[in-house]
Structure formats: structure tokens, C-alpha cells
Chains A and B, each alone.
Chain A
Amino acid sequence: EVQLVESGGGLVQPGRSLRLSCAASGFTFDDYAMHWVRQRPGKGLEWVSGINWNSGGVGYADSVKDRFTISRDNAKNSLFLEMNRLTTEDTAFYYCVKDAGNNWYNEDFDSWGQGTLVTVSS
């Protein structure tokens, strides 16, 4: 069974940084691309970033480009999201999501974690 467990969320002040982690199990982690998708409280889904199986390609939503960095450690079955210069607009649940393929775009999001809440507030 695929398991994706996010951690690292919490309360942070505007302009500060936060690092999210996702521990993956139940599948061959380095065979698949991975993503972060966020959901502001009471709102819809927004794709944030994706990364290839071997970190050879990454993509970002315009709203986070140049502020967020996605990375992975295949040896530790882990996915990360480094978030810098946070604003109140970044307040959301952040989901770790498994891709159906090994390339980070043009596939489906076939397994989702439970999410971790990031609150940006002074």
C-alpha cells in the first residue's frame, strides 16, 4: 500500500522560510515522479511543483517560481519542498502526491498524502 506522510508544516511569519518533507513507502520510490499540490482552506486544488524520478527535470507553478525548490532523496525515499519568502497567499494544506509515471508532466496524480498545514501569519 502506498503511503505518503508529510511533515514540516506549521506557523511561520511572512518573509520567512519553511521546509516540507514527505516520507514515501509501499512502492519503488525512484521509479516515479513526485509532486506537491496545495489547497488553501476551503478552496480548490493548486499544483505547486513536480520532479522527475531522477531529479533530472522539475517544474513549478508561476505563483511559486523562484521562491520554492523541490528536491528528492531516492536513497531515503523522501521528497522535499523548500519554501522561501513566504506570503499569506501561501497559507494552505500541502499534499505530497505520487505520479503515475516517471516524468513529472503529462501524467496523473495517483496517490496523495494526508497533507500538512502551512500557515503564514504575523
Chain B
Amino acid sequence: SFELTQPPSVSVSPGQTATITCSGDKLANTYVSWYQQRSGQSPVLVIYQNANRPSGIPGRFSGFNSGYTATLTISGAQAVDEADYYCQAWDSTTAVFGGGTKLTVL
């Protein structure tokens, strides 16, 4: 079955660039979305169709899909960006989420 693999945790210093990866063997044939979930809150869509930002999402968030690995980049990370991040893609008619990455900004 289709699986998306993320690192469990990533740490970054404030103002530095955070990179979160998502790997899967079918990424060449599908779009990847990214969701941010702050502690105690519901998920929020931050990147859709590999690299697009919904309105209201800061420009420091960007995404890329190489076909083998999808990447979420947060340029100039802020304390408010500390959260769990999930990648997601469709395997035919099943939505698949990665296991999530806890981003710590310290």
C-alpha cells in the first residue's frame, strides 16, 4: 500500500530555515498537500498541489515535489510555526497522510 514517510521531528532556530521531507514511491504521479496542526488545534492547509499557498498563509511557507520526495520549507521560522506538520497525497481513491513531523523552534 502507498505510504508517506516523514521524520518524526525537526528542530530549527528562530529565523533559520526549516525543511520537512515526505517520501513515497508514487509521488511522481500525484500532488502533495501539507497541513499544520498547532497544539490543541485543528489542522490547517498550508500548501496544496505541491507548491501553492492558500490565501492567508505567510510567504515563508513553500513546497516542492521532486517526484521522489516532497519538501515543505519554512524560511525564517518563527515561534508561531512550532507545530506538527503532515503531508498528504491521494493513492487513487484513498487519501494518505504521512506520520507527521513535530517542528520545534528554539
A-side residues, CB < 8 A to B, are 35, 37, 44-47, 50, 59, 61-62, 95, 100, 105-106, 108-115
- Provide the main secondary structure of the chain B interface: strand
Interface residues of B in 58-106 (CB under 8 A from A): 86, 88, 90, 92-100
Give the chain B neighbours of A59 by CB distance below 8 A.
93-94
B48 and A44 contact, CB distance less than 8 A? no
B97 and A112 contact, CB distance less than 8 A? no
B-side residues, CB < 8 A to A, are 31, 33, 35, 37, 42-45, 48-49, 54, 86, 88, 90, 92-100
- Which residue in chain A gives the minimum CB-CB distance to B47? A108
Interface contacts (Cβ under 8 Å), in number, total 55
B45 and A109 contact, CB distance less than 8 A? yes
Q: Which of B37, B42, B90 has the most CB of A within 10 A?
A: B42
A45 and B48 contact, CB distance less than 8 A? no
- Which residue in chain B gives the minimum CB-CB distance to A98? B45
- Say how far B95's CB is from chain A's closest CB, in angstroms: 4
